[in-house]
Chains A and B, each alone.
Chain A
Amino acid sequence: MCLAVPGKIVSVIEEEALGLRRGRIDFGGVVKEACLAYTPEASVGDYVLVHVGFALAVIDEAEAQKIFDTLREMEQLEELNLADDSLLPPADIGRT
């Protein structure tokens, strides 16, 4: 059960009754509310992953970039015409 969609927090609503934070989240132009109780560190401007109405994680933008850096390195290696496979970057660069 895993469809979680990334969206940007555009506003936060602190709920008095049960102390549960909610946020209005922008998914590529569609705005829907989600509960932010599980991402207390999230604030306006952050991207969160939302699953069945709950934000489950704040997206780490630096980590998100890594795959593209790795792929760019691959491209550069290819361009330098290095056919030697042992020079392939390890698949787990910074991925622990």
Chain B
Amino acid sequence: MKEASFSCPLPHPSGETVLLAHGGGGKLTHRLIENVFLPAFACAPLERRHDGALLEVRGARLAFTTDSYVVRPLVFPGGDIGDLAVNGTVNDLAMCGARPLYLSAGFILEEGLPMETLRAVVESMCRAACRAGVALVTGDTKVVDKGKGDGLFVNTAGIGIVEAPEEVSPAAVRPGDAVIVSGDLGAHGIAILSVREGLEFEAPIQSDTAPLWAPVEALLAAGIEVHCLRDLTRGGLASALNEIAETAEVGMAISEVAIPVAEVVRGACEILGLDPLYVANEGRFVAFVPQHDADRAVEVMRHLPVCALASRIGSVEQTPAGCVTLRSRIGGQRVLDMLSGEQLPRIC
């Protein structure tokens, strides 16, 4: 009996190694944050576990956030790492109800990266910044030996000024709130995979990377009481909903039929053995607003091209706390759990 040598098949974060899955956006990432980072850096803004930090500085309400971009391939249908680097950070600020203003950019370049690639990425960042209405005001560059980096890594940090009258964060979510998704899911993740797996499409699937301050601004301008916003990135819709349900200690009931997914994205997910609810997005968000504001919020969002397919997908409930349940197309129920690690394709 091998009892003595039996050890836990999935390593604990302490004393073991970092796995790729720790960056997947699911349970392991969550655990890494909870067990390694939060205890060390404990402070009020971090405790909120939101996309950005909300800070009061001499009376001004600021939002501050940072994100790193390590995507491979660097270029994909619909954009490149430069677009993600700007939009991702802009969106984290927008999700705090803050108007994005300034970005910094730190580059880690691998020796041997073609200058042309770097120029193209920088141009994308410039265009994306312009489109998002932000200025890139400071930066840094480092170069590492060949083989020590995926060509190019970039970190962007952003500052914005909070314009939402009330705090926009998971803490504000209430039972009875409507859950609204800003558009169709999975395009970004599939666009990336299509390059890696050599999939062809009748019309190539484009990444949905886009800046999202405009719809947030529109919701605030319409006087909608926005409780919480979260952009959907790695881990997809399911991870975002679970994180919020856990932080806010509420339950959520979602309807599968209401969730928009483009047919061609669904086709790609079917053949790759993936669930669209866990596939990455880069220009989509989920909003929590009071029941009485739900219809108007969807209407306001649909006026903007980036949210043309905005849909209400469910409601927040009292219980079971921390649990997201999905009502399937055929009327059965299932728990929409957080992934343990990255989503792996299945053939079974």
Contact = CB atoms under 8 A, between A and B. Distances in A.
Given A3-B273, A5-B271, A31 B200 contact: yes
Contact of A32 (B271, B273, B347, B348): B271
A27 B272 CA distance: 11
Given A1-B348, A27-B271, A51-B347, A32 B264 contact: no
A13 to B, nearest CB: 14
Q: Which secondary structure dominates where chain A touches chain B?
A: strand
A30 B271 CA distance: 9
B201 interface: yes
B264 A29 contact: yes
Q: Which secondary structure dominates where chain B touches chain A?
A: mixed
A90 interface: no
B202 interface: yes
A52 B203 CA distance: 24
Contacts of A7: 271
Interface in A3-23: 3, 5, 7
A27 B270 contact: yes
Given A28-B264, A30-B199, A32-B199, A52 B347 contact: yes
B267 interface: yes
Contact of B202 (A5, A31, A32, A52): A31
Interface string B304-332: 00000000000000000000000000000
B266 A28 contact: yes
A2 interface: yes
Interface string B332-348: 00000000000000111
A44 to B, nearest CB: 16
Interface residues of B, number: 16
Nearest to B266: A28
B205 to A, nearest CB: 8
B264 A30 contact: yes
Nearest to B345: A3
Contacts of A27: 267-268, 270-271
A24 B346 CA distance: 22
Nearest to B269: A30
Sort A-B residue pairs by CB-CB distance and give the 8 closest, nearest first: A28-B267, A29-B264, A30-B267, A31-B200, A27-B267, A30-B268, A1-B348, A3-B347
Given A3-B347, A30-B267, 4 more contacts: A3-B346, A27-B271, A28-B263, A30-B199
Interface of A: 1-3, 5, 7, 24, 26-32, 50-52
23 contacts: A1-B348, A3-B346, A5-B271, A24-B200, A27-B267, A27-B270, A27-B271, A28-B263, A28-B270, A29-B201, A29-B202, A30-B199, A30-B200, A30-B267, A30-B268, A30-B271, A31-B199, A31-B200, A32-B199, A32-B271, A50-B271, A51-B347, A52-B347
